[in-house]
Structure 1
Amino acid sequence: MTTTLTAPAPAATRVIPDARPVTLRQAIANSLTMAYRGVLKIKHNPEQLFDVTIQPIIFTLMFTYIFGGAVSGDVQSYLPVIIPGILVQTVITTSMVTGTQLREDMDKGVFDRFKSLPIARISPLAGALLADMVRYVIATTLTIVMGLIMGYRPDGGVFGVLAAAALVIACSFATSWIWALLGVLANKASAVQGYSMLILFPLTFMSSAFVPVHTMPGWMQAFVKVNPITHLVYACRDLMNSGHIGADFGWSLLGAAAIVAIFAPLTVRLYMRKA
């Protein structure tokens, strides 16, 4: 009787992503690819754009006609004050959705698949945040268009308006890294939304966006003057109403750069631990 020896079946192996360091060029390319994925998601699910298409219209009309007479005496005099303020408030508020959608994707296991790919670790997060810039552009455009329809005529011209729009979009992208961090840390998407509103609403409403700072109580003025939203509102007013680039413009860019420098690597590090 002949005994046939068979080799043991090979153990299941796990595919390990390429450990070679990713270059900056590859990281940018990976992030843009992930951003394209996010844009396709918006294309196939246009309901995601309801907030950025309806909110700018409602907020611009509501705040202008509620505060216009009380603050400036009439609506036309209030438009140079409120339109830059609404622009900042609307677009910055829109960035909150980033953390909520990120948490939902992580709960579905989408980012676990990305983690197994030989791509830059930051690209899934950066790509999602870059895709959300489409939302910022839509909210910015609708707010400015609504202001023009209502009679706002920015003395800063096309340059001032475009520069203010670019500044707000850049700062919103930077702010979205904060909400992305909350998305990584929180257990539910609803919790991310609650935390984001708790942080952002005081910052936007306790600022110079809607009313003059000197009309506020002294203790509140101290906070408003150091509030980064106030600097961003002042920078947009300077650009849109006079085409002037002042110190507030520089402070806004510096703050945005600081947020990205701190929160981007922190978010990626925590994401890699939890994903």
Structure 2
Amino acid sequence: MTTAISQSLTLAWRSLIPLKNSPGQLIGMLLQPVFMIVVFVYLFGGAAGGDRDGAVLYMLPGVLVQVALMATIGTGMNLATDIGNGVFDRFRTMPIARSAPLAGRVLADLLTLLVTVIMSLIVGYAVGFRVHTDPLSTLAGVGLVLLFAMALSWGSAWIGLIAKSVTSMQGISTAVLLPLTLGSSAFIPATDLPGWLTWWMGVNPVSHLAGAIRGLMVGGLRATDLWITFGWTAALLAVFTPLALRAYNRRVR
């Protein structure tokens, strides 16, 4: 077990090294939260209380969720690219755990996501967002969004391993994530929308994730949001981790 973890960490570092030779990718990753905050807070801010300060408090947790979930698409895309380039064929000939390349890819993307989340908080602070709870609760909020994203990354990994191409993988993931993120209460309170959409937001796991993060950072945490988020996280891990490992073993057999 210790050897497999060490190998996964080594391969995670291997996945991060190319970033230093791709400044455009790194800059794009850092600018993504800036664009999202400008769009959702400044352009659509009136939908969350009618003032910018209220919009920042309500929407920044939603931006963290949106950034995190959309970043999980990169896990499947990177896996599909590596398979197409024959990278995993070389790993197959090495004396390493079969799960190490897959776990290393997920861990590397999680670390880059952490940088993006931190950047989102910095930009949010610059436009007026302030934590109304305490530092420990804020760290718990960041940890929660990373935990959920990690669980969802295994689903993205599975799609990337069974997809015929990088383009098809990206299309499938986007088609799944957009209704979840934009059809949630991450940016707009459910009470402001029609009944059928209010129902969808109520059962949408992204709404509960955003609500839990908002409660941890701004206040008014509801235990329901927290437990539903943990439940969905456990379910995603239970379903997609074995599916991704099985698909990976088939692709590198």
Please give the range of the TM-score, normalised by the shorter of the 2 chains. Answer: over 0.9
Find the counterpart in structure 2 of residue 146 from structure 1: 123
What pairs up with 1:241-256 in 2 under 5 angstroms? 241-242=218-219, 244=221, 246-256=223-233
- Distance in 2 (CA, whole Å) between partners of 1:48 and 1:245 is 37
Q: List runs of 5+ in structure 1 lacking aligned partners.
A: 1-23
The one-letter code matched in structure 1 to 2:79 is L
SS of 2:130 mapped into structure 1 = coil
Contact 2:77 2:160 in 1 (8 A): yes
Tell which deviates more after alignment, 141-150 or 203-212: 141-150
Deviation (angstroms), 1:141: 0.8
| Residue 224 to residue 47, structure 1, CA distance change in 2 (3 Å) | same
Task: Return the alpha-carbon distance in structure 1 between the equivalents of residues 66 and 185 of structure 2.
Answer: 11
Matched, 1:188 2:165: yes
After superposition, give the CA deviation of every residue in 1:85-111 in whole Å (9 maximum; x if it has no partner): 111111211111111111000001101
Q: Compute the displacement of 1:124 (Å).
A: 0.6
**Structure 2 Cα separation of the partners of residues 48 and 251 of structure 1:** 34
Give the corresponding residue for 1:57.
34
CA shift digits 1:144-164 (9 cap, x unpaired): 111111111110122222111
TM-score (norm 2): 0.94
Give 2:98's aligned amino acid: R
**Residue of structure 1 in register with 2:100 after alignment:** 123
- 8 Å CA contact 2:62–2:186 kept in 1: the answer is yes
Displacement after TM superposition at 1:138 (Å): 1.5
The one of 14, 17, 20 equivalent to 1:40 is 17
Q: Distance in 1 between matches of 2:71 and 2:240?
A: 18
Paired amino acid for 2:94:
L
Long gaps (5+) in structure 2: none
- The answer to whether the 8 A contact 2:8-2:101 is kept is yes
Q: In structure 2, what is the equivalent of residue 109 of structure 1? A: 86
Choose the corresponding residue for 1:220, options 186, 197, 212: 197
Structure 1 residue 57: Cα displacement: 0.3
CA distance in 1, matches of 2:134, 2:123: 16
Alpha-carbon separation, structure 2, partners of 1:164 and 1:103: 31
Report the alpha carbon displacement of residue 112 of structure 1 after superposing the two structures with TM.
1.2
Give the number of the structure whose alpha-carbon radius of gyration is greater.
Answer: 1
Aligned with 2:72 (options 95, 100, 106): 95
Query: Which 10-residue stretch deviates more, 243-252 or 130-139?
Result: 243-252
Which amino acid in 2 is paired with 1:199?
A: V
Cα 1:226–1:243 change in 2 (3 A) is closer
1:207 is aligned, of 184, 204, 208, to 184
Contact map agreement 1:156 1:244 (CA 8 A) in 2: no
Q: Residue 236 of structure 1: which of 213, 226, 231 is its match?
A: 213
Q: Is the 8 A contact 2:48 2:54 kept in 1?
A: no
Distance in 2 (CA, whole Å) between partners of 1:223 and 1:246 is 20
CA distance in 1, matches of 2:61, 2:77: 26
Which deviates more, 54-63 or 39-48?
39-48
Provide the alpha-carbon RMSD of the alignment: 1.6
What is the one-letter code of the residue matched to 1:208? S
Q: Does 1:272 align with 2:249?
A: yes
How big is the shift at 1:175? 0.8
Hey, what's the Cα distance between the residues in 1 that align with 2:127 and 2:142? 19
**CA deviation after TM superposition for structure 1 residue 251, in Å:** 2.1
**Does 2:52 align with 1:75?**
yes
**Partner residue of 1:197 out of 168, 171, 174:** 174
Rounded to whole Å, the distance in 2 between the matches of 1:134 and 1:60 is 21
Shift of 1:247: 2.8
More helix by share: 2
Residue 215 of structure 1 deviates from its aligned partner by 1.7
Shift of 1:253: 2.3
Mapped contact 2:47–2:188 kept (Cα < 8 A): no
TM (normalized to structure 1)? 0.87
